[in-house]
Amino acid sequence: MTEVSLKTVIAPVFYPIHRRIRLKATVSIWLKGGRGSTKSSFAAIQIILGMIEDPDANALVVRKVGETIRTSVLETLLWAISMLKVDAFFSHTKSPPEITYLPTGQKIIMKGLDNPLKLKSINVKQGYFKFLWFEEAAEFYGMDEIRNVQQSVLRGGDKFVEFITYNPPNDPAAWVNKECENKAYGDRIVHHSTYLDVPPEWLGQKFIADAEALKKSDRMKYDHEYMGEAVGRAEQIVFHGKWKELDFETPALTELYQTRFFFGADWGFANDPTTLVRMYIMLENGQKNLYIDYEAGGVGVELDDIGTMFRSVPESKRWKIYGDCSRPETISHVSKQGFNVEGAPKWKGSVEDGVEYLRSFNNIFVHPRCVKTIEELTKYSYKVDKNTQEILPVIIDNWNHYIDATRYALADYITADVSIFDVL
């Protein structure tokens, strides 16, 4: 056989998984990710390699609907055979969809679960089903359906490798999103990859340009489709449709249409970050727009180091910083480091009032360097009733440290009877 460098067909992000499989241990590998993450290509490569190396190894590949096999998993497996330059050693049929390793007669059998009873009697003449691959696992009804296949197929051998590949559904409560978090299985590996983990020349300029364009136009769709994240329903996200990532230049304070800077801080340490956010407001063509142009933050930041972190945000020592008033000792400590820090006023319903005020802006523009603020804006969400799937008017207290800092910065105007532009 022709020697092929695996570096040309396996992305670096999968090297640890490849090494784990090479140890010949029984393992269940959940490969999730977005478009272009090459997770299915990796599974196909590993199955072909495994069959060549082990004369007793056969493979069963399962999809929910059998009609999708010929244009998906079969083509992916044939691609893997071609990339490994072992075409002469394999033959295939499309009906039924099967691939045979000619030197030994080992089989890759592909089935749909349209009729699950057919899988109960499935077998091979030689060896056993060492490899089991569930492609597009989110299409299955649940873990029970997958478990039925496992119980029917995974027998007769002592080493098994299972691949479960899928793009995470948008709903965080979807069964496959919940199941991958199940810690009860010691042999389960959950692996997440995206197109950013893949050598760009494998994907091409058009693919990457399309991804980046969607990132700018609809960050929520980008995070779901390309980053493989369960971002939830659009209406569940608190600030959906209210903000945009924009690479803008902050105008000079001397310019007439510049208003002023606002600074807000939130305090954390062990699990939550200490944060600082800078912003300003512009009245443009009759629209009131909020610009967030700088952020700083980190988990585990010592009190003595907060000043250094704050100084990374321009002008932070010149302007008042409104911080979370529940930590007066932190406010006092940071004030002694030369910052004008005050506790932001709070009241019953201040979170909801602050969110409503932020939503009152025509646009919230966030500079790309404010990575954590952008992440929170995509994930800050309302609770969903588990039984009815109704979106509740209750905001989840998570993914909100930079958002809270933004609320604190504008606290004086949230309940004011006058527009901010009336007093500037």
Measuring CA to CA, how many Å separate 115 from each of 3, 60, 144, 152, 406? 40, 15, 15, 14, 54
Q: Do the Cβ atoms of 384 and 267 come closer than 8 Å?
A: no
Give 242's contacts (C-beta < 8 A, 6+ positions apart).
358, 359, 361, 363, 364
pLDDT above 70: residue 292: yes
* Rg (alpha carbons) of the chain, rounded to whole number: 27
- Closest C-alpha among 79, 78, 119, 123 to residue 97: 78
Q: What mean pLDDT is reported for the chain?
A: 89
pLDDT tens profile 230-240: 887 778 889 98
The torsion angles phi and psi of 28, rounded to 5 degrees, stand at -115, 120
Residue spans of the domains in the chain: they are 6-203, 234-422
Bridge partners of residue 262, in order along the sequence: 279
Provide φ and ψ at 294, rounded to 5°: -145, 150
Phi-psi domain of 142 (left: phi exceeds 0; alpha: psi -120 through 50; beta: other): left
pLDDT, tens digit, 9 for 90 and up, residues 256-266? 455 789 999 99
CA distance 57 to 110: 15
CA distance 109 to 123: 10
Q: How far apart are CA 174 and CA 365, in angstroms?
A: 31
Identify the residue whose tokens are 């965080």: 172
Catalytic residue selected from 135, 136, 162, 229: 136
State what percent of residues in the chain have pLDDT above 70. 95
Contact 164, 134 (CB under 8 A): yes
Condensed to tens digits (0 to 9), the pLDDT of residues 108-163 reads: 999 888 766 666 667 788 899 999 999 999 888 888 888 888 888 887 777 899 99
Q: Which residue, 200, 181, 189, 152, is CA-closest to 26?
A: 189
Please provide the size of the chain in residues.
424
Place of tokens 């310019």: 255
Which CATH superfamily groups domain 6-203?
P-loop containing nucleotide triphosphate hydrolases (3.40.50.300)
Distance, CA of 338 to CA of 276 (rounded, Å): 15
**How distant, in Å, are the alpha carbons of 206, 270, 352, 404 from that of 299?**
37, 6, 26, 16
Token readout for 51 is: 């069959």
Do residues 292 and 406 lie in contact, with contact meaning Cβ atoms separated by under 8 Å? yes
Q: In the prediction, which pLDDT does 73 show?
A: 92
Q: What are phi and psi of 229, to 5 degrees?
A: -105, 145
Q: Is 398 exposed, middle or buried (0-12, 13-18, 19+ CB in 10 A)?
A: exposed
Residue pointed to by tokens 């329903």: 233
Residue carrying the six token digits 């009804």: 141
Q: Which pLDDT does position 196 carry in this prediction?
A: 96
pLDDT tens by residue, 60-104: 999 988 888 888 899 999 999 999 999 999 999 998 899 999 999
Look at the pTM and tell me if it is higher than 0.85: no
Q: Evaluate whether the domain defined by 234-422 bears CATH number 3.40.190.10.
A: no
Contact 21, 46 (CB under 8 A): yes
Q: Give me the pLDDT at residue 120, please.
A: 65
List, for residues 308-352, the tens digit of each pLDDT value: 999 999 999 999 999 999 999 999 999 999 999 999 999 999 999
**Per-residue confidence (pLDDT) for residue 218, from 0 to 100:** 84
In degrees rounded to 5, what are phi and psi of residue 81? -60, -45
Q: Is 136 a catalytic residue?
A: yes
Number of other CB atoms surrounding residue 344 within 10 Å: 26
Query: Average pLDDT, stretch 395-421?
Result: 86
* Euclidean distance between CA atoms 225 and 63, whole angstroms: 20
Q: Is the dihedral of CA 361, 364, 365, 370 positive or negative?
A: positive
Question: Fold identical between 6-203 and 234-422?
Answer: no
Looking at residue 256, what is its pLDDT? 43
> Average pLDDT for residues 261-276, to the nearest whole number?
94
Angle in degrees, CA 178, 183, 184, rounded to 5: 110
Is 299 in contact with 272 (CB distance < 8 Å)?
yes
What are φ and ψ of residue 189, in 5° steps?
Answer: -120, 130
Per-residue pLDDT at 116: 60
178's tokens: 């919940």
